[in-house]
Structure 1
Amino acid sequence: MAQHKAEPESPQGEEGSTSSSLGATVRTLASTLWFPAFFFTGFLVCYLLPFHNPVPHHVDVAVAGPSAGQLEQALEQKSPGAFDIHPVADAGAAHDAVTNREVTAGYAPDAKHPQLFVAKADGYSLESVLQKTFTSVAQHSGGQLQVHEAAPTAPGDGMGTGLFYLVLACTIPSYISVMMLLRATTFGRRKKVLTLVSVGVVESLVAYFVARSMDVIPNEPLAIPFIFLMTQAVALTSYGLVPFFKQFFPGVAMGLFVLLSMPSSGGAIPVQMVPGFFRALHPIMPMGNLIEALRGQFYFDGKDVGRHVLVICAWVVGGIALIALGAWKERREARKEAEDGRTGAEVEAEPPVEDPSFELPQPCAVPPHSHRLLQQEPTLKGRVTDERGRPLRGVAITVTGTHGRELLRASTDEQGEYAATGLPDHFVNVIASGPDRLAAVARVQARDGHPVRQDFRLAPRPAPAGVGAQAAARY
């Protein structure tokens, strides 16, 4: 009978085990693949779908003479919503409207020689659309269109996209610098911010002089501080987001500065040819504002540069504010944890900040005296001695979190020393124990960039009472 009862329980146990294994597999795949899935979807939605066939939207065109109204009606019938016509007095006024960045193009109708004023600095693809459209208009009127370049790009920027790639070269590394610095467990917040500032200085100088050497941009050194401000807008904002979004930080930062910022920048595809959502983002995102500031500085006599630089500065200030708020949040949590002395039942383990491309440091033991290249520096170290101050070799060191989970195990070397790295920014319990020694426990606060030392002096374990009595009886 007992055997009969046991038989139906075995499949249930196997089914429960299979279900548990499947659930663990699904959770592992979800936590591992969410970022590539997010990025895949983001590129489809933010790049392929809106830009597979870009068309002009509300391109401002200054038209000279009394025929502006008739031309607007004709263009509206042919391409609804593509062009907004602005009447001006004559061809000179149309040209000036372009160079003053009041409009994107200017057109001066004439029976034989109509003129089109364009700015290649606003993007070659937009210039091509304008030439095609107004060539057709001129031919319909029986004239031959004359195209005048009102704002040509630098000789090395034949397609008018050089600024986009210059700015892109400083945007992505600024974000990646934050991700790599998260691995620098011996760097505190101040050192990390100083490093991000230093990296931004190097990026802006190198990018400017490399672009100058290829004639991609004119000789305007004022561009260097503009580029530097943009690197800090990306880097400081990204770093400031870390404490608030934790393991979702990569998706938030890359979503802001890649999926949204690049398509709305107007660099690769002119902003007049992107969908309305991205046109609305263009005046807000740092990448687009830097491109517009550089265009104004290089090709339009500084027109509107101040406004775009102010937007970038607002991002920098916002990043600094996020960093300060994150520091306050960390201090408040540490103070509350120290006051409450919360145990594992009261504290939930927070998921680590993880980047899909770069593995962040995990708690692990490291050699106390090794200084190899690329080896992580210890964030916790100490020495274990006996009651006379002599080093104890082979003592087990166990580090647990305040939630009770074991983080790592280590053992002391010949000098009685131990070291560990990759500890979370919280209080941890350090336990030293040996087979013939009384265990000792210490509670220390592991802080990013602030290595902590915890030494132990272990007393010998007293012999059991019975053993002592037997030994005395022998004598």
Structure 2
Amino acid sequence: MSDHPTPPPAPPTGTEAPQPGAARKLVAALLGLTAVVTLMLCAFALPSVNGGPHKAPIGVSGPQAAARSLEKTLDGDEWDVTVYDSAEALTSAVKDREIIGGLVLAPEGIDVYTATAGAPLAGGALTAMAHSVAAEQQTKPTVHELAPFPEDDPRGAGFSAAALPLVFGGMIPAVLLARLFPGRTGLRTRLAGAVLFSLFAGTAVTAFLQWGTGSLAGDYWITALGLSLGLAALSMTFVGLEALTGMAGFGVGAAVMMLLGNPLSGLGTGPYWLPGGWAALGQLLPPGASGSLLRANAFFDGTGAGAPALVLTAWVVLGLVLILIADRRGARTVRTGAASAEPAPAAA
């Protein structure tokens, strides 16, 4: 009988011993994925559930007593009512995007003025409310559309479908360029690639929506440049996040744009269909600002384009700042590595 202890049996061939902490990692991963799915559901469901006109600006015109009475009746959480002296003043306000539409009271009935391309769902709610008011007066409203969607796409389906491709249009080039031109040496190439991609994709997508599906109107080149600015705001921000913080920062940025920017963009509904705070946040993110700029250029001859263009420019500047910081940090790392690699001077 040997005095040496018997060694433990080896694991069967073709199997590996379980790694310590594997169960904890699995549980953490599953909990994280569950949280992401739940957040996605909340981000997409809550704006829809709580959707409706929220302080949507409308106008009222007609005999002074009747117009003031209707103002008091309608003004509240749903509608923000302004009384105008004439129908011409009201329609000018609609075209200038000061209001989304309005009612003109006349002895023979009610005229409803809407701008469906500016606020599709809120405009529909205004028309339905006008029918209710007209029914009380035993008459029927006459609807006048001041800014419709094009005839080839009267419901604006193609325009509404552009929100998600805009987000992916900023994410995918950032990932692809990071794989093709990695590191600090490829950072300037990635920046140039993001700018050129935004220009190419902006012109191509605008051409498809305007001539392929008939979903856009207005000047093609102005609309294309606006869409290119929106794509640049997204792609350059993602390039900057990836360059400075790696895929972790890129993932955070992607989650913000997907879970907040996309459902809060108001591209298909118009911003007044979301609760006030959600609508304001959505317009400060690139998808919402891109949608507003696209709407202004395509249907309102650029009226209202200033604010979203300024927001998108700020995001482009943010992306440039992140890229510059990443470049400076990489340069310092290279200098530090070169200094540590120099041989020590020989002793005399």
Interval containing the TM-score (normalised by the shorter chain): 0.7 to 0.9
Partner of 1:70: 69
CA contact (8 A) 1:61 1:86 kept: yes
Aligned residues: 323
Deviations 1:8-50 (A, max 9, x none): xx9xxxxxxxxx846223225535873x445412222211123
Q: CA deviation at 1:141?
A: 2.3
Alpha-carbon spacing, 1:116–1:271, altered in 2? closer, same or farther (3 Å): same
How does the TM-score come out when normalised to structure 2?
0.83
Given residue 200 of structure 1, which amino acid in structure 2 is its aligned partner? S
Are 1:50 and 2:61 matched, yes or no?
A: no
Following superposition of structure 1 onto structure 2, how do residues 108-187 of structure 1 map, counting pairs within 5 Å? Answer: 108-166=104-162, 168-185=164-181
Deviates further, 328-337 or 257-266: 328-337
Q: CA deviation at 1:276?
A: 2.7
Partner of 1:248: 248
Q: CA deviation at 1:251?
A: 3.2
Q: How far apart, CA to CA, are the structure 1 residues paired with 2:28 and 2:243?
A: 22
What SS does the aligned partner of 1:120 have?
coil
How does the TM-score come out when normalised to structure 1?
0.62
Q: How far apart, CA to CA, are the structure 1 residues paired with 2:273 and 2:163?
A: 20
Following superposition of structure 1 onto structure 2, how do residues 273-288 of structure 1 map, counting pairs within 5 Å? Answer: 273-288=273-288
Following superposition of structure 1 onto structure 2, how do residues 410-421 of structure 1 map, counting pairs within 5 Å? Answer: none
Q: Gapped runs of 5+ residues in structure 1?
A: 1-5, 11-19, 342-475
From the CA coordinates, give the structure whose radius of gyration is larger.
Answer: 1
Identity in percent: 26
Alpha-carbon spacing, 1:234–1:33, altered in 2? closer, same or farther (3 Å): farther
Partner of 1:327: 327
Alpha-carbon spacing, 1:37–1:276, altered in 2? closer, same or farther (3 Å): farther
CA contact (8 A) 2:157 2:215 kept: no
Structure with bigger RCO (C-alpha 8 Å, 6+ apart): 2
Partner of 1:218: 217
Q: How far apart, CA to CA, are the structure 1 residues paired with 2:187 and 2:176?
A: 14
CA contact (8 A) 1:161 1:267 kept: no
Q: How far apart, CA to CA, are the structure 2 residues paired with 1:155 and 1:81?
A: 33
Deviations 1:204-245 (A, max 9, x none): 121111112221112512111111111111011011112444
Partner of 2:82: 86
What SS does the aligned partner of 2:238 have?
helix
Given residue 262 of structure 1, which amino acid in structure 2 is its aligned partner? N
What SS does the aligned partner of 1:183 have?
helix
Deviates further, 94-103 or 197-206: 197-206
Partner of 2:306: 306
Following superposition of structure 1 onto structure 2, how do residues 313-352 of structure 1 map, counting pairs within 5 Å? Answer: 313-339=313-339
Alpha-carbon spacing, 1:301–1:243, altered in 2? closer, same or farther (3 Å): closer
Q: How far apart, CA to CA, are the structure 2 residues paired with 1:239 and 1:338?
A: 27
Given residue 270 of structure 2, which amino acid in structure 1 is its aligned partner? P
Q: How far apart, CA to CA, are the structure 2 residues paired with 1:247 and 1:202?
A: 25
Deviations 1:370-390 (A, max 9, x none): xxxxxxxxxxxxxxxxxxxxx
The structure in which a higher percent of residues are strand is 1
Q: Gapped runs of 5+ residues in structure 2?
A: 9-17, 342-348
Alpha-carbon spacing, 1:53–1:280, altered in 2? closer, same or farther (3 Å): closer
What SS does the aligned partner of 1:107 have?
strand
Partner of 2:344: none
The structure in which a higher percent of residues are helix is 2
Q: CA deviation at 1:267?
A: 0.7
Alpha-carbon spacing, 1:37–1:178, altered in 2? closer, same or farther (3 Å): farther
